[in-house]
Amino acid sequence: MAKFAKKKEGDLPAVSTASLPDIVFMLLFFFMTVTTMKDSSLLVENTLPNATEIKKLEKKDRVIYIFVGKPTQEYQKVFGSEPRIQLNDKFANVDEVGSYILAERAKKPQELQNVLTTALKVDKNANMGLITDIKQELRKVNALKVNYTTYEGDAFNNLQ
């Protein structure tokens, strides 16, 4: 009566790998969409300080970045080892900050121009003198919302 031939015992069926490309492609598309290529390379040392009471910078399109720090090794011969300002891809002086902010603001869509934040990415070894000058420049162009970008961590680690 054995109409259905029994499968051989102990013979594991091979796992089909036909859907493997699909899975991999799914992952691939995920990473392709979330990837953001770095748009400006750093010319300055940028080890941020730590802080605990931080807020996230939610929308990338509403942020203007200013980097401050000692020039990296390769630029120290030309620019010295005092902390400098980096705007986009080049070094700048304090008096260029205002026009940079205005130029960046003009590039943004009209409805975002009033809600922009200036993210100050400052190396923890910089002095406040330069930062104060930048803040003064920002006040002149009415860019009052600033964010001192930091890492999350115990703030007292900064003092060592």
Partner 1 sequence: MPRRKGAPEVNAGSMADIAFLLLIFFLVTTTIETDAGLDRMLPPIEPPEEDVIIRQKNIFTVNINKNGQLLVEDELMNLKNLRTAAIGFLENNADGSCTYCKGKKDPASSDNPTKAIISLKNDRETKYSTYITVQNELVGAYNDLRNREAQRLYQRDFTDMESEYLNPETPSSVRDELKDKVKRIQDMFPQKLSEADTSTN
Binding residues (CB under 8 A) for partner 1: these are 17, 20-21, 24-25, 27-28, 31-32, 34-38, 49-59, 63, 117, 119, 121-129, 131-132, 135, 138-140, 142-150, 152, 155-156, 158-159
Reading the block at residue 89, the tokens are 């891809």
User: Which residues, in sequence order, are CB contacts of 83 under 8 Å at separation 6+?
Assistant: 44, 68, 69, 70, 123, 125, 126, 127, 130
- Toward partner 1, which CB reaches closer, 4 or 156? 156
Q: Min. distance of Cβ 101 from partner 1 in angstroms?
A: 12
Q: Min. distance of Cβ 105 from partner 1 in angstroms?
A: 15
Q: Min. distance of Cβ 74 from partner 1 in angstroms?
A: 23
- Toward partner 1, which CB reaches closer, 6 or 60? 60
24-43 as b/e: b if 16+ CB within 10 A: eeeeeeeeeeeeeeeeeeeb
Between CA 146 and CA 139 the distance in angstroms is 10
Q: Min. distance of Cβ 7 from partner 1 in angstroms?
A: 27
